[in-house]
Each structure stands twice: as C-alpha cells, then as structure tokens.
A and B are shown apart, each in its own frame.
Chain A
Amino acid sequence: MAVIDLANPTRFLTLVNRVLPWLAAATVLLFAFGLARAMNAPDDYQQGATVKIMFLHVPAAWLSMMGWGLMSVAALGTLVWRHPLADVAGKAAAPIGAAFTFICLVTGSLWGRPTWGTYWVWDARLTSVLVLFLLYLGVLALYWTAEDPGRGSRAAAVLTLVGAVNIPIIKFSVDWWNTLHQPASLIRMGGSAVDPTILWPLLIMAGAFTLLFFTLHLAAMRNEILRRRVRSMRIIQAQEVRA
C-alpha cells in the first residue's frame, strides 16, 4: 500500500484495523516495562520519592505539546488542501491532547505541593500550559457545538494555528522569564542533567505514553470516519424519505 493510498478513508480504515491490535499490545508491554523500571528507580537526593511523579508529568507535558503540533499540521491540511482525513486527524487528537494536558497540570500541581510548598503559582510555564488546556477546550467546543460541521472544522483549524504560537512560549518560558518551574533538564545544550538511573525509566515511560497517544488517536480517527459515514447515510435516508 503506497503512502498516498492512506489519503483514502476506506484504505486508511483497513490499515488501522490491521495495525491497532499490535500497537495496543506494544503499548501495554512498554507500560509494564516502564512502570517496573519507574517503581524501582532510586529516590532523588532532594525530592525523595516524589520524583516518581515525574514519570507521569513529563511524558504528559511532552504529549500535550505534541498533540497541538499534530493538530496544527492537520489544521494546515484542512485549510490549505481541504483534505477530509486531515480534519478527522485534528478532531480526533483534540480530546486526547486535552486529557494529557489535564494530566500534566494535575500531576504537576501534586508534585509542586511537596517540592515547592504550593499547588499553583501564576508563573510563565504553569500559566502557558493552562492557556494550552483552555485552547484545547475551545477547539473541542468549536468541533462539538458547530451546527455545520464544515464551518466548525475550519474555525477549529484557525484557532489551532493561532494557538500554535503558545507552543514555543511553553517551551522557552523557563528561559525567557523567572519561573518557579525548573529550566529544561532533558533536552538542553550540553546534554541531559538527569542521572541515567532516572533518565532511562523516564524515556521508557515517555515511549509508552507516546504509543498510547498514537493508539488512541488512530482508534479515535477510525471512530470519526465511521461517525461521518453515519451522518452521510442519515442525510441520504432523509432525502429518500422526502422523495
């Protein structure tokens, strides 16, 4: 099957049905391995066992931004090429990205209380991630409440592209402003500042969460294609009844 064939929803569904069980199995296995490594990782010399929250918080933070990045590419596909599968991809990614952003905010807050002494501060990193979560909710509202799905999709695509400005702000907020949130310790000049005994479980958990994201995204895209088929069949049914 050529890559261009995947632009056809029926062929895409065939591929998803074939790939999804394997992807789900790989996700479960990687989570089992990652969680075992995370639970056996040593405590941090300053934070103690609360460092275990990092194995959830950091992958969720990465996926919250990756989800918006994926939606931004899909938004370009919707607005520039008007490809229906691009719109399906964007719509399917929005609730998953919102869920990971929610996990990022809640786990960060639960990590902040014992390490910083507070659940929340209005610093640039935390606030920009909260803005990302609100943007996700805005996109979902446009998708779910628009009377005309086409107009809703285009409005959601425009909001997605406007909201993409927030992604570099989130990434560099810890460098541009004074924040309670620590600066980058993994992806930075000079290499990772995290000890390998904690870094490896974190990378494995990040891999597991990423596989989970793509498994859920493909499954949600399949559902959205089926939902659109239901809609078009109902319109045909209504036209036949009228005629």
Chain B
Amino acid sequence: MNLGPHADFIVAAYAVTVFVVAALVAWVILDYSTQRRILGDLEVRGVTRRSQRKDDR
C-alpha cells in the first residue's frame, strides 16, 4: 500500500485515533475493576445498600 507524499499525515491521524480509542477502552476497563473492588471491600465489611436490606427481609 503506497500512502504517497503525505504518508506522515495519514499515519499520524490513525496513530492519534488508535491512542484515544485505546485510552477510552482502558478507562472503562480500569474504572470497572476499581468500582467492583471497592464494592467488594464494602460488602466484606458488612455495609449494604438500603434496597439490599429490603431484599433480605
């Protein structure tokens, strides 16, 4: 594939897009594992939400 005399601009556009999309994907994955870990810690300590208490009754 020949990208011609402006190959640098094309490669830079794709590189920026890949970087931003990868950052978004990493953000949602890391955020999910962080929230799950904190929720797990709170549940281990016996903290429950009010709606959970209603379910238990």
A in complex with B: yes
Question: Which residues on A are within 8 Å of B, measured CB to CB?
Answer: 10, 39, 43, 48-50, 52-53, 56-57, 60, 95-96, 99, 102-103, 106-107, 110-111, 113-114, 212, 216, 219-220, 222-223, 226-227, 229-230, 232-234, 236-237, 240
A102 to B50, CA, bound (A): 41
Inter-subunit contact A219/B32 (CB<8 Å) = yes
Report the minimal beta-carbon distance from B57 to chain A, rounded to whole angstroms.
16
Q: Chain A at the B interface: mostly helix, strand, loop or mixed?
A: helix
What are 10 A-B residue pairs whose CB atoms fall within 8 Å in the complex? A49-B4, A57-B13, A102-B20, A110-B16, A114-B5, A220-B31, A223-B35, A226-B36, A230-B39, A236-B49
Contact A111 B13 (CB under 8 A): yes
A21 smallest CB distance to B (angstroms):
13
Q: Contacts A39-B1, A50-B6, A219-B32 hold; do A232 and B13 have CB atoms under 8 A apart?
A: no
> What is the total of A-B residue contacts with beta carbons within 8 Å?
97
CB-nearest residue of chain B relative to A217? B28
Contacts of B16 on A, CB cut-off 8 Å?
Answer: 103, 106-107, 110
Provide the residues of chain B in CB contact with A43, threshold 8 Å.
4
Q: A56-B13, A237-B45, A237-B47 are in contact. List 11 more A-B contacts (CB 8 A).
A: A49-B10, A52-B10, A96-B24, A103-B16, A103-B20, A113-B9, A219-B32, A222-B32, A223-B31, A229-B49, A233-B42
Q: In the complex, which of the residues B17, B25, B36, B45 contacts A216, with contact meaning CB atoms closer than 8 Å?
A: B25
Tell me, in angstroms, the Cα distance from A121 to B28 when the chains sit together.
34
Inter-chain contact A230/B42, CB cutoff 8 Å: yes
CA–CA, A176 and B4, complex, Å: 35
